[in-house]
Each structure stands twice: as C-alpha cells, then as structure tokens.
Amino acid sequence: MTNVVVPQLGESVVEARVARWLKQPGETVSAGEPIVELETEKIDLEVGAEHAGVLASIARQAGEDVKVGEVLGVIDGSGLVHRPVPTGAAGGATAAAPAPPAVPAAQAQVPSAEVSARATPTARRMAEEHALDLSKVAGSGEGGRVIKRDVEAFMTHGDAAGPAPTAVSAPAAVPAATQPSPAAPRSERQDERIRMSKRRLTIARNLVEAQQTAAMLTTFNEVDMTAVMALRERRKEEFRKRHGVGLGIASFFVKAAIAALRAFPRVNAEIQGEEMVLKHYFDIGIAVGAAQGLVVPVLRDADRMSFAEVEQAIRDFAKKANDGTLTLEDLRGGTFTITNGGVFGSLLSTPILNPPQVGILGLHKIADRPMAVHGQVVVRPMMYIALTYDHRIVDGLDAVQFLVRVKDFIEDPGHLLLEG
C-alpha cells in the first residue's frame, strides 16, 4: 500500500483544498498519472501516483481543506481489486447482467480521466461546469493540451445552433376594444452563494493584513509618455522582427523602477521583526489579472534581463495565467511589484502593498491632456503613476524622489542606457 499525500506546495503555502478526484476507488492508475487535483492560494496543481496500482481508497473528499503531508488516499500496488461478484439464484452461477441504465446526456458528457489528463485544471473545471466533452475540444496548448481559451472557443463555435423557429403570422385583425394583457409578474429576486476559492480567500486575507500591519501611504505623479511612444513607434517593427515579440511600455517601467530602486534601496526591502532586510537583487513582480483572481508572477533578476526578455516573460506570464498553467516557481518571492490598471482603463488608483514588500508601483491609462510646455499649451499623452509604500521604513521624501526618478527615466529613456 502507498499513501497519496499532499506534496510540498512551495514557499509559504501550507494548505490546499481538494478540488476533484480524477480517479475513483477501484480504478487502475499508472506511475506518474494525475489522480487528484488540488487548489492552493496561488495555483491549481495535480498530484500524481508515485507507483502503478489501484486506487484502494479516498481519505479526503472534494471540497475539504488539507495540509502538506496529509494523506489523500491509498494506492494498492498489488494491482488486485476485490469487487463483489453477482451470483445467480441456483448453484452460484453468475446471472446475466441487466442492461446498464440510461445515462443522462449531461452525465454522458463529463470528461473521462484519460481526457482530463491532457487538459489544464481551469479547462477541466469549465468543461465540468458546462457539461462539455473534452474529447471533442481541440487543444492549442503545449503538446496539444486543452487550455481555457480552447474550451471558450468550443463553447462559442463548437456546436452549431439549431434552426431558428418558424415565425408565426399574426391574426389579420385585432378588435379595437381589446384590453392590454396584464404585465408579466416580476421575477423573484435570488441570492446565490458561491464558496470562495483558496486563491480568493488568500487575496482577501493578504489585502486586509497589509492594511492592518503596514503604514501605507501613496504618492502620485504624472509622466509625459511622448518620448517612449515615439521610440516604440520608430523601433517596433525592427524589434518584433529581431526578437519575435512586441515592444510594450512595461519593459520601460521595469527598467526605470530598477534604476530608481538602486537609488532608494529601502523601497526594495522588507521588515522582519525589528530589522530591515535590504534586497540587493531585483525580483520584480508583475500583477496579472486571471479568471481565478489576481496573481503576481515574478521576473527573476530582472536587472539582468534585456528589454526583449522582459517583454517575452510578461507575455508568457499573461498566457499562463489565462491558461491556468502558472507554477509555484513563477510566483515565488518578489522584492517589488508593478501593477498596470491602465490596461483595463483605470485613470488613477491607490495600489495596495503585496506583503512582505514595502513598495508597489501603479501604472494607469495613457490619455491625451493639455500641458504647458515651454510657455505653450500642447496636447501630450500623459499617464498618472502611483507609488504605495510602507511608511515604517520608507520616508515620504524617499518615496517622492523615487517616483520622480521613475518619471525622469520614462520621459528621457536615453537615461536607461546610461544606467546599463
């Protein structure tokens, strides 16, 4: 017998929730085959069988919270399955098995474990919620894996709509004295209770904890994006042909933030007890909105990355967040975070710290605004930027100067070359 246990879930993650079992007691499993899906505060992951055999029993059911090391189920490595054998009325002869009961259409479409193994957890969950057969969905992910957007596309275009109902002609004439029919009764108001996911619960807990434990303050500035946008316009085609990825504004702000962090190292620190821990490396978190909640994958050693590498990594993070394929390693650590609400149209906001970090830079929508330049009113593409910081170790003067430094680097991106 081999226990199936909750594996190590990564840095600071000690608890998970059983999302669903991919195998049921009595079913055979192969070594390495996924048998149960867990939902953590950061990602969904699959737990595979260490050895081949039969799933003998399930210890924790779907929906239960479990901790690292706890037993989820047991695999019988002998491969023997003991099932009761039906006997006839006389002499113990096996009676003819009755015809299996009809399976409802919705049940018949639930994906099998074999098909589920080639789909991401998010795709499987969507298929289950909408009673879709994953075997009919073409996968566009790595190795033909079915991902979220494949299920969405199948839901939109996979099944042809039935023929429109034939229009019924109206009566030739309506009596003038006919009274209007009474209005249809108002539909009942309904409440829906949905259990929050582990990720949503963790986001909620972390945001409240940040507000309760940190002395958060936000300072604002505005940036003239003319130079960066002109540079992008001149170089975008060459950049794409050379590197295979577009040149966005994110890489400029990553590089500008790193240059400012070098000048103001306390913004790149954290508090541990009565000590400040200054980080002399730059792991920059990039906030990404996903269907299951906000995630912050990390650009490891971002100061050593080129503009192209930053843009490629951010694009990959966005795709993996959408597909539900981010790993714990993608989300581990981080010394400073950048969040861009501007991609959703936000003009101004106050970001909340990502503990235990003490600084987060908020980017916003680029909008044309009239500005006074050299005594003349001109229209320029402007962006409001915000820095939320922990006032316990970051002084207001440093925070303001940090944001001014970012502004200077963006308005004159040539400085970034000098910074190296």
Give catalytic residues, as residue numbers.
Answer: 391, 395
Q: Buried (b) or exposed (e) across 128-142, using 16+ Cβ within 10 A?
A: eeeebebeebebebe
What does the DSSP 8-state code read for residue 1?
A: -
Residue 382, H or E segment: strand 376-390
E strand map for 194-250: 216-224
What the block records as the tokens of 372 is 């006074």
Nearest to 34 by CA among 48, 50, 24, 20: 48
Strands 71-76 and 2-5: antiparallel
Task: Please compute Rg for the chain using Cα positions.
Answer: 29
Asked if 287 contacts 341 with a C-beta cutoff of 8 angstroms, the reply is no
265-270-273 Cα angle (round to 5): 130
Q: What span, in angstroms and rounded, lies between the C-alpha atoms of 104 and 367? A: 54
